[in-house]
Amino acid sequence: MIKLRESRMSEIPVYQNYINGEFQPHSASYIEVTNPANGELLSRVPNADTSEVEAAITAAKKAQKAWAAKPAIERAQYLHKIADKLRQNAEHLAAVITKEQGKVLSLATVEVNFTADYLDYMAGWARRIEGEIITSDRPGENIFMFRKPLGVVAGILPWNFPFFLIARKMAPALITGNTIVIKPSEETPNNCFEFTRLLDEVDLPAGVFNVVCGTGYGVGQALTSNSQIDMISFTGSVATGSAIMAAAAPNVTKLNLELGGKAPAIVLEDADLDLAVNAIKASRVINTGQVCNCAERIYVHTAVADKFIEKLSSAMAATRYGDPMKQSDLEMGPLINQASLDKVISMVSKAKSEGAQVITGGKVADIGPGFHYEPTVLAGCHSDMEIMQKEIFGPVLPVQVVASLEEAVELANASEYGLTSSVYTRDLRQAMRAIDLLDYGETYINRENFEAMQGFHAGTRKSGIGGADGKHGLYEYTRTHVAYVQN
């Protein structure tokens, strides 16, 4: 839970905003950050005011032209140096992430190393950013299309993969010549400040990378409604994405929105059931089900439904969970906060009242402090239940039985979300047919998340606008400029 406090400077770390290449003194109110596994107070972070947001945007604007004028390969060197620092400090960074976010240490370590690899990967585009020369209708004319930076990017982050999301926004922004102002989630800002401490050691030019911490309605609104911001790159919920669109509208600011998901997992009659169970279970307990592209609902063919539900329930029931800083062999930690726990409790309770049967789990875990919920399987679900339509973001798997691939796809597509989907089958023709029919930005065959950094992570419908990763994600951070040159 976030509490705003004026005083109590103490033994716990107090972080500062990073503006124009320096950690800046902050005198307004602070936000207290706590450990979701046990309620321990971890840090105090600035709840910045509008003047701090404006100072960061001004610094980013001032730095942008000189940064863009550097050869891309020089900009790349900074990203490589930051990546090296992250790897050298992986153990410390993983512990910071785990303490404030609640994911298990092994996953936090993967997140840190993947973030370093992502910086290196995006830096690798330095010599590959290309424009085009287009054939003209006029004799003696050349048409050139240049790719240019947009200017200042606002990067607004969620709490579920807070560390990786810094890189997913800043790496493509910086390599293409933009500067950035990052707003971490107020739930998980510590890792962003630790990232910034390391970044500060590589002597990045002042103003290229800035961090301003605060609430969504404070710092978030001030950033997204500011006319000096040239692009808003946001990852988070549909409701916030929608509010950001409204805030950006008066300035017609470019948007890149990575929003929620309700990923359907379709298990067909010829699926390898053990493979399907292992993959779906892993995707649902990883990060305690708080992943935009983890299996959120299952459609299983009637011919294998009983066997599948039995195997899935055993696997979910066997999940090792608890406080990830106390036990090293866990698969799952707590949910992020009380509100998330309340949401899961309410959704399961509603599903039960609508006829779902709890096969395993179905209640708050009785393991002491923290926001722990039991790994849960619900059978007898049907498409008009809230639990089959709304994002749960917790370790709960609702299952609906279907008669065919076509029925499963129809139900899967009848969703306001369109981020990711998965299909389990041994028949390549069925897999290709499913890919053809599924209206989703991503489909996994015989596996679940994660996506590749060289792919393109993008959703349809309310799951977002634009996408991230790979060449297409990189070019989201550029604009075109066409020049007609008559000889």
CB of 446 to ligand NAD, least distance (A): 22
Reading the block at residue 299, the tokens are 């459609």
Out of 34, 109, 191, 240, the residue judged to bind ligand NAD by CB under 6 A: 240
Q: Among 292, 296, 374, 476, which one carries the catalytic annotation?
A: 292
Strand ranges for 130-216 from DSSP E: 132-134, 141-149, 152-156, 179-183, 209-211
Out of 36, 151, 158, 473, the residue judged to bind ligand NAD by CB under 6 A: 158
Measured CA to CA, the distance from residue 443 to residue 446 in angstroms comes to: 10
Residue 442 near ligand NAD by CB under 6 A: no
Residues 6+ apart with CB under 8 A from 310: none
Residue 46 or 177 with smaller CB distance to ligand NAD: 46
Find the farthest-apart pair of alpha carbons in the chain and give their distance in angstroms, rounded. Answer: 78
# binding residues, ligand NAD (CB under 6 A)? 30
Reading the block at residue 384, the tokens are 């008009």
Residue 217 near ligand NAD by CB under 6 A: yes
Task: Indicate if 186 belongs to the active site.
Answer: no
CB of 18 to ligand NAD, least distance (A): 16
User: Residues 272-311 vs ligand NAD: string with x where CB under 6 A?
Assistant: --------------------x-------------------
CA atoms within 13 A on the CB side of 480: 9
Say whether the peptide bond before residue 144 is cis (omega within 30 degrees of 0): no
- Tokens 């406080």 sit at which residue? 323
Tell how many helices (H) and how many strands (E) occur in the chain: 14, 25
Task: Indicate if 386 belongs to the active site.
Answer: no
First to last CA, the chain: 65
Q: Among 100, 111, 187, 258, which one carries the catalytic annotation?
A: 258
Three-class DSSP labels, 88-125: HCHHHHHHHHHHHHCCCHHHHHHHHHHHHHHHHHHHHH
For residues 235 and 158, the answer to whether their CB atoms sit within 8 Å is yes
Cβ count within 10 A of residue 137: 6
Residue 441 near ligand NAD by CB under 6 A: no
CB of 340 to ligand NAD, least distance (A): 8
Out of 391, 448, 469, 476, the residue judged to bind ligand NAD by CB under 6 A: 391
Residue 156 near ligand NAD by CB under 6 A: yes
Residue 198 or 259 with smaller CB distance to ligand NAD: 259
Residue 185 near ligand NAD by CB under 6 A: yes
Looking at residue 63, its amino acid is A
Residue 157 near ligand NAD by CB under 6 A: yes
Residue 450 near ligand NAD by CB under 6 A: no
Residue 184 or 380 with smaller CB distance to ligand NAD: 184
Residue 151 or 467 with smaller CB distance to ligand NAD: 467
* Catalytically active residues, by annotation: 258, 292
Contact footprint for ligand NAD (CB under 6 A): 156-161, 183, 185-186, 215-217, 220-221, 224, 235-237, 240, 243-244, 258-261, 292, 391, 419, 457, 464
